[in-house]
């Protein structure tokens, strides 16, 4: 799934200056930022303002469930260990 924002909308937020706190001068973006943005100007990849997902929802859900099961198992083992301490 690729989200494309209108170019005029994206250009409003991609400026050539680093905005600092109030009372300080704005600075020109570093060369690294300018080079990274140059890849997108007229290139294959569109400019976007959002995050492009690289992992599918199914993978995320399975990882989330696996972490929950592991956390429940660890909690259960701690509960068993604490009950054994009362028996001794």
Query: Is residue 4 domain-shared with residue 39, that is, in the same domain?
Result: yes
CA of 4: how far to CAs of 10, 45, 52, in Å? 10, 10, 10
Q: Residue 1: is its pLDDT beyond 50?
A: no
Same domain for 45 and 14: yes
Same domain, 2 and 14: yes
Whole-number percent of the chain with pLDDT over 90: 25
What residues have CB less than 8 Å from 37, skipping those under 6 apart?
14
- 12 and 46 part of one domain: yes
Same domain, 12 and 30: yes
Q: Are residues 30 and 9 in the same domain?
A: yes
Q: Are residues 47 and 62 in the same domain?
A: no
- How many structural domains does the chain have? 2
Global pTM reads 0.42
Range of the domain at 47: 1-52
């Amino acid at each position: 799934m690729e989200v494309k924002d209108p170019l005029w909308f994206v250009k409003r937020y991609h400026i050539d200056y680093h905005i600092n706190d109030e009372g300080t001068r704005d600075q020109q973006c570093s060369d690294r930022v300018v080079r990274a943005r140059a890849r997108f100007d007229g290139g294959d990849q569109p400019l976007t303002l959002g995050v492009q997902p690289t992992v599918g929802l199914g993978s995320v859900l399975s990882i989330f469930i696996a972490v929950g099961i592991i956390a429940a198992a660890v909690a259960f083992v701690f509960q068993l260990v604490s009950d054994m301490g009362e028996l001794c």
